[in-house]
Protein backbone atom coordinates (compact mmCIF):
# COMPACT_ATOMS: atom_id res chain seq x y z
CA UNK A 1 0.00 0.00 0.00
CA UNK A 2 1.32 3.41 -1.00
CA UNK A 3 0.60 5.57 2.05
CA UNK A 4 1.54 9.13 2.95
CA UNK A 5 0.77 10.78 6.31
CA UNK A 6 0.16 14.53 6.43
CA UNK A 7 -0.11 17.02 9.23
CA UNK A 8 -3.15 19.29 8.81
CA UNK A 9 -2.71 22.85 10.15
CA UNK A 10 0.13 24.66 8.38
CA UNK A 11 0.55 21.81 5.87
CA UNK A 12 -2.85 21.51 4.18
CA UNK A 13 -4.60 24.60 5.53
CA UNK A 14 -3.58 27.96 6.94
CA UNK A 15 -2.62 27.80 10.61
CA UNK A 16 -3.32 30.26 13.41
CA UNK A 17 -1.85 30.82 16.86
CA UNK A 18 -5.49 31.26 17.96
CA UNK A 19 -6.35 27.77 16.56
CA UNK A 20 -8.57 26.92 13.61
CA UNK A 21 -11.98 26.68 15.31
CA UNK A 22 -14.61 26.68 12.58
CA UNK A 23 -15.22 25.76 8.94
CA UNK A 24 -15.05 29.48 8.11
CA UNK A 25 -11.53 29.66 9.57
CA UNK A 26 -10.43 26.47 7.76
CA UNK A 27 -8.84 27.73 4.54
CA UNK A 28 -6.69 25.52 2.29
CA UNK A 29 -3.19 26.66 1.46
CA UNK A 30 -2.63 27.48 -2.23
CA UNK A 31 -2.11 24.29 -4.21
CA UNK A 32 -2.58 21.94 -1.24
CA UNK A 33 -5.85 20.35 -2.38
CA UNK A 34 -4.49 19.88 -5.88
CA UNK A 35 -1.38 18.28 -4.36
CA UNK A 36 -3.46 15.71 -2.47
CA UNK A 37 -5.42 14.94 -5.65
CA UNK A 38 -2.14 14.52 -7.54
CA UNK A 39 -0.92 12.02 -4.94
CA UNK A 40 -4.26 10.16 -5.09
CA UNK A 41 -4.15 9.97 -8.88
CA UNK A 42 -0.66 8.45 -8.63
CA UNK A 43 -2.06 5.70 -6.37
CA UNK A 44 -1.19 7.14 -2.97
CA UNK A 45 -3.51 6.86 0.03
CA UNK A 46 -3.46 10.03 2.14
CA UNK A 47 -4.04 10.02 5.90
CA UNK A 48 -3.96 12.98 8.28
CA UNK A 49 -2.37 12.91 11.75
CA UNK A 50 -3.12 16.12 13.63
CA UNK A 51 -2.88 17.53 17.14
CA UNK A 52 -6.19 19.25 17.90
CA UNK A 53 -5.69 20.47 21.46
CA UNK A 54 -8.32 23.17 20.84
CA UNK A 55 -10.80 20.41 21.67
CA UNK A 56 -9.19 19.78 25.05
CA UNK A 57 -8.99 23.52 25.69
CA UNK A 58 -12.71 23.91 24.98
CA UNK A 59 -12.12 26.28 22.05
CA UNK A 60 -14.30 24.18 19.72
CA UNK A 61 -16.24 20.93 19.88
CA UNK A 62 -16.18 17.69 17.88
CA UNK A 63 -19.13 18.89 15.77
CA UNK A 64 -17.07 21.92 14.69
CA UNK A 65 -14.05 19.71 13.94
CA UNK A 66 -16.27 17.40 11.88
CA UNK A 67 -17.65 20.42 10.01
CA UNK A 68 -14.10 21.57 9.21
CA UNK A 69 -13.27 18.13 7.88
CA UNK A 70 -16.52 17.97 5.90
CA UNK A 71 -15.51 21.25 4.22
CA UNK A 72 -12.06 19.82 3.48
CA UNK A 73 -13.53 16.62 2.01
CA UNK A 74 -15.97 18.61 -0.17
CA UNK A 75 -13.24 20.92 -1.49
CA UNK A 76 -10.92 17.97 -2.08
CA UNK A 77 -13.63 16.11 -3.98
CA UNK A 78 -14.02 19.11 -6.30
CA UNK A 79 -10.32 18.65 -7.18
CA UNK A 80 -10.66 14.88 -7.63
CA UNK A 81 -8.86 14.16 -4.36
CA UNK A 82 -9.59 12.43 -1.09
CA UNK A 83 -8.24 11.78 2.39
CA UNK A 84 -8.69 8.16 3.46
CA UNK A 85 -8.70 8.79 7.22
CA UNK A 86 -8.15 11.52 9.79
CA UNK A 87 -6.50 10.71 13.12
CA UNK A 88 -6.36 13.46 15.72
CA UNK A 89 -5.26 13.96 19.30
CA UNK A 90 -7.78 16.03 21.30
CA UNK A 91 -5.55 16.35 24.36
CA UNK A 92 -3.64 19.31 25.75
CA UNK A 93 0.10 19.08 26.32
CA UNK A 94 -0.29 18.61 30.09
CA UNK A 95 -2.64 15.61 29.84
CA UNK A 96 0.21 13.14 29.33
CA UNK A 97 -1.40 11.15 26.51
CA UNK A 98 0.57 8.99 24.08
CA UNK A 99 -1.17 10.28 20.95
CA UNK A 100 -0.03 13.92 21.04
CA UNK A 101 2.81 14.61 18.63
CA UNK A 102 5.81 14.43 19.09
CA UNK A 103 4.85 11.04 20.58
CA UNK A 104 4.05 8.38 17.96
CA UNK A 105 0.62 7.22 19.22
CA UNK A 106 -1.37 8.58 16.26
CA UNK A 107 1.07 6.93 13.86
CA UNK A 108 0.82 3.62 15.70
CA UNK A 109 -2.98 3.87 15.37
CA UNK A 110 -2.61 4.48 11.62
CA UNK A 111 -0.34 1.44 11.24
CA UNK A 112 -2.83 -0.72 13.15
CA UNK A 113 -5.85 0.57 11.21
CA UNK A 114 -4.24 -0.11 7.84
CA UNK A 115 -2.39 -3.24 8.96
CA UNK A 116 1.00 -2.05 7.75
CA UNK A 117 4.45 -1.25 9.06
CA UNK A 118 5.20 2.46 8.69
CA UNK A 119 8.87 1.98 7.82
CA UNK A 120 9.62 4.29 4.92
CA UNK A 121 6.14 5.87 4.82
CA UNK A 122 6.54 9.60 4.11
CA UNK A 123 5.34 11.93 6.86
CA UNK A 124 4.86 15.57 5.87
CA UNK A 125 4.50 18.42 8.33
CA UNK A 126 5.36 22.04 8.99
CA UNK A 127 6.95 21.47 12.38
CA UNK A 128 9.53 19.47 14.26
CA UNK A 129 7.06 17.50 16.38
CA UNK A 130 5.21 16.26 13.27
CA UNK A 131 8.43 14.76 11.99
CA UNK A 132 9.60 13.47 15.38
CA UNK A 133 6.35 11.54 15.83
CA UNK A 134 6.57 10.04 12.37
CA UNK A 135 10.22 9.08 12.66
CA UNK A 136 9.53 7.41 16.03
CA UNK A 137 7.09 5.16 14.12
CA UNK A 138 9.55 4.48 11.27
CA UNK A 139 8.39 7.12 8.77
CA UNK A 140 10.61 9.21 6.47
CA UNK A 141 10.52 12.94 7.44
CA UNK A 142 9.52 15.74 5.04
CA UNK A 143 9.27 19.38 6.14
CA UNK A 144 7.18 21.88 4.20
CA UNK A 145 8.09 25.57 4.40
CA UNK A 146 4.48 26.64 5.03
CA UNK A 147 2.86 27.33 8.39
CA UNK A 148 5.45 27.04 11.16
CA UNK A 149 7.96 25.70 8.62
CA UNK A 150 8.22 29.10 6.93
CA UNK A 151 10.72 30.17 9.60
CA UNK A 152 13.25 27.80 8.00
CA UNK A 153 13.00 29.26 4.49
CA UNK A 154 16.51 30.06 3.29
CA UNK A 155 18.12 28.52 6.40
CA UNK A 156 19.77 25.27 7.30
CA UNK A 157 17.62 23.08 9.52
CA UNK A 158 18.76 22.89 13.14
CA UNK A 159 20.29 19.63 14.37
CA UNK A 160 17.09 18.99 16.34
CA UNK A 161 15.40 17.84 13.11
CA UNK A 162 15.62 14.12 12.33
CA UNK A 163 18.58 13.14 10.13
CA UNK A 164 17.59 12.84 6.48
CA UNK A 165 14.73 15.35 6.69
CA UNK A 166 13.85 16.50 3.18
CA UNK A 167 12.64 20.07 2.75
CA UNK A 168 9.95 21.12 0.27
CA UNK A 169 8.60 24.58 -0.50
CA UNK A 170 5.00 23.43 0.10
CA UNK A 171 2.71 20.41 -0.21
CA UNK A 172 2.56 20.84 -4.01
CA UNK A 173 6.37 20.60 -4.23
CA UNK A 174 6.30 17.50 -2.02
CA UNK A 175 3.63 15.92 -4.26
CA UNK A 176 5.76 16.64 -7.34
CA UNK A 177 8.74 14.98 -5.64
CA UNK A 178 6.66 12.00 -4.49
CA UNK A 179 5.09 11.14 -7.82
CA UNK A 180 8.35 11.67 -9.73
CA UNK A 181 10.31 9.12 -7.70
CA UNK A 182 10.22 5.41 -8.46
CA UNK A 183 7.39 3.56 -6.70
CA UNK A 184 8.43 1.64 -3.60
CA UNK A 185 8.69 -2.10 -4.05
CA UNK A 186 6.29 -4.21 -2.02
CA UNK A 187 7.97 -6.45 0.57
CA UNK A 188 8.87 -9.94 -0.67
Catalytic: which of 7, 15, 126, 130? 7
Please give the biggest Cα pair distance in the chain. 48
- Residue 46 CB-half CA count within 13 A: 26
Q: How far apart are CA 79 and CA 76, in angstroms?
A: 5
Contacts of 18 (CB under 8 A, 6+ apart): none
Catalytic: which of 9, 15, 140, 170? 9
DSSP strands (E only) in the chain: 3-6, 45-51, 85-89, 122-125, 140-144, 166-168
Could you confirm whether 17 is annotated as catalytic? no
Number of helical H runs and strand E runs in the chain = 6, 6
Could you confirm whether 7 is annotated as catalytic? yes
Q: Which residues are catalytic?
A: 7, 9
Amino acid sequence: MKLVILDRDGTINADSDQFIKSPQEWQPLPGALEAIAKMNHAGWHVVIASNQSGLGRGLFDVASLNAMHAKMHKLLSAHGGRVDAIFYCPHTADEGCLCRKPLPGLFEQIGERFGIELKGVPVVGDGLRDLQAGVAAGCDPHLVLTGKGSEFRGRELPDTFPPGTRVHEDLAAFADWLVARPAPRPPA
